[in-house]
Structure 1
């Protein structure tokens, strides 16, 4: 019984791992691209390259259009998560330091758990709540240790909060759509929706792409192809096979991976507090995704098993 339940979880777990690794790498790429591109232009460039990649894959696979019942969730998640979240987060990160932004945005998984329980009927078992609490504490430590203490503004904090809210609402809206359409369909048309919503920034993108250095443009394309096209598809695949709350908790691994990648790629040696926070983030994810084992039979005097 356990083997039949456990094996189907392996592909979904692998998809979740791919998602958090690529989303963590996005923070490193955004640093480079954000120096040459404004928030709206970067969001549009990222979504456009992601949408182009997804449309090609969708056409090759011939999956067709999503059923009518899925379009509401696709459009809502496309506007809120792909469009609004990316543009507002890019803007917010220009107003506050990276540590503050990471700290505020990590309210998102908690909002997902609350909205998922309220709107989707997701269960919130003690292990999930305990794991999210540990991970959030780790995110707080990482954020405080990375904060420069002087760049935070009220506007920046509000923008990051709005980004977290858009992210949470987008995830909750996406979940019902995945019951009616494939992960590729939901991601492709959600990304297209976000790209269309960001079209008012097309003029800025055209002007800035002429002046931007090649590495910054390549980083923007990378953001579209991998952390957007690939990672959002693997996210949707995993989300279709678990609850929104549990998937939200998984993203608490991102701050720990960002610390590691910044160390390896940028030579930014983390402090002791940052490392402690990263370990707590990973520990909380492990707890939140763990499953309670069924009680084992115990033997009595007759030698027959009796359930605990």
Structure 2
């Protein structure tokens, strides 16, 4: 009995982390639908700043209620870098890039992000790169390519748009890798809240544009901006940080390959955009690759479930 109960906390933690990652992926997928609406009436910088301000207010309120306080000094370097690269730079670059290229091209270019995360994580954090993770990423990337090609419009893509999406992917990868060490010193809520604040401060030069756009925007576009701040930022980034603190950056990056598949489904349900066979096949590949990348070999599961030496002595 002692052995079984001792193994439960590890299994429970793994399930909670998987659940948190699932929440993040679903909310990030829904963000593409909202950005498509709000982005037609808000400029890239204004949309990024508005979303960050809403998220900062929500997260700050939760921190006050929970009395989280300031993160320790050891966490600030990672928080500052992730706030600048991911919360700030990534948001503006992606919003701008999606105004220059079609959604398929943008999704295809940005999806090199998980590959960059795996490479940076292995180089800077010492993350392992087991064969199943590499195989799953290869399958998911093939699916992302299929989805991107199927969703691409007939017109040519802007070179500027492709470069902006590429820069967004680099910012995303750098932000994730910088955030991982910070989670060893501060709580997921602290890391997310203060990363969001750093990003908002970095985007303050867009304040005038935000005021101008908000005055002319429709209620629907503004509600989409609020949704992006509350759910796809405040909630989704917190659940991401919670899951990232309990697994490797490479594995979490691979999980985001489920986003294109969910975007296809949500666009079908919310916008009436019926996907073609290539889109559906690409989405299925994305999900299959995520399943492979997050799976473990039978021997690894046995090792994880086995009691530690201390537990064995106690049960004896």
**Structure-1-length-normalised TM-score:** 0.95
Structure (1 or 2) with the greater helix fraction: 2
Does the CA-based 8 Å contact 1:36-1:208 persist in structure 2? Answer: yes
Which of 24, 32, 47 is residue 27 of structure 1 equivalent to?
Answer: 32
- Partner of 1:138 in structure 2? 143
Equivalent position to 2:250, from 239, 245, 250: 245
Pair 1:261 & 2:261 matched: no
Q: 1:36 to 1:66 in 2, by over 3 A?
A: same
Answer yes or no: is the 8 Å Cα contact 1:109–1:249 preserved in 2.
yes
Q: Secondary structure at the match of 1:7?
A: helix
> Kindly tell me: are residues 272 and 201 of structure 1, through their superposed partners in 2, closer, same or farther at Cα, counting changes over 3 Å?
same
1:96 alignment partner, one of 101, 107, 110: 101
Matches within 5 A, 1:120-139: 120-139=125-144
Alignment of 1:169-188 (within 5 A): 169-188=174-193
Contact 1:95 1:151 in 2 (8 A): no
Q: Hey, what's the Cα distance between the residues in 2 that align with 1:114 and 1:18?
A: 25
For residues 107-122 of structure 1, what are the structure 2 equivalents within 5 Å? 107-122=112-127
Is 1:220 aligned to 2:245, yes or no?
Answer: no
Q: Which residue of 2 aligns with 1:306?
A: none
TM-score norm. by structure 2 comes to 0.92
Unaligned stretches of 5+ in structure 1? 298-308
What is the deviation of 1:7?
2.2
Contact 1:47/1:194, CA 8 A, preserved across alignment: yes
SS of equivalent residue, structure 1 residue 11:
helix
Corresponding residue SS for 1:139: helix
Q: Where do 5+ consecutive residues of structure 2 fail to align? A: 1-5, 303-316
* Count of residue pairs brought into register by the alignment: 297
Cα distance in 2 for residues equivalent to 1:32 and 1:143:
20
In the alignment, the residues of structure 2 paired with residue 181 and residue 292 of structure 1 have an alpha-carbon distance, to the nearest angstrom, of 32
The 2-side partners of 1:296 and 1:139 are apart by 29
Equivalent residue runs for 1:23-172 within 5 Å: 23-172=28-177
User: Counterparts of 1:222 and 1:2 in 2: how far apart (Å)?
Assistant: 39
Cα offset, 1:294, TM superposition: 1.9
Name the Cα RMSD after superposition: 1.3
* 1:12 maps to 2:17: yes
Distance 1:276 1:140 in 2: 11
Separation in structure 1 between the aligned mates of residue 300 and residue 176 of structure 2, nearest angstrom: 34
How far apart in 1 are the matches of 2:231 and 2:202?
A: 21
C-alpha distance in 2, partners of 1:202/1:174? 26
Corresponding position of 1:290: 295
